[in-house]
Amino acid sequence: MSKTFTLSEAQTLLPVLESLLRRAQGSGTRVAEIEAGLERLRQKIFLSGGVHVDVTATARRRAERDKALQETKDTLEEIAEIGVQVKDLDRGLLDFPCVVEGQAVLLCWKLGEAEIGYWHSTDEGEAGRKPIDARFGRTERSRPN
Residue 35 CA: distances (Å) to CA of 31, 55, 56, 59, 66:
6, 16, 16, 12, 10
Residue 26 near residue 117 (C-beta atoms within 8 A): no
- Binned at pLDDT 50, 70 and 90, residue 141 comes out as low
More confident residue, 138 or 57: 57
Residue 114 near residue 132 (C-beta atoms within 8 A): no
137 Cα distance to chain centroid:
26
Side chain identity at residue 113, one-letter code:
E
pTM value > 0.75 = yes
Q: According to the model, what pLDDT value does residue 96 have?
A: 97
- Residue-wise pLDDT for 102-115, tens only, equals 899 999 999 999 99
Domain ranges for the chain, please list them. Answer: 14-84
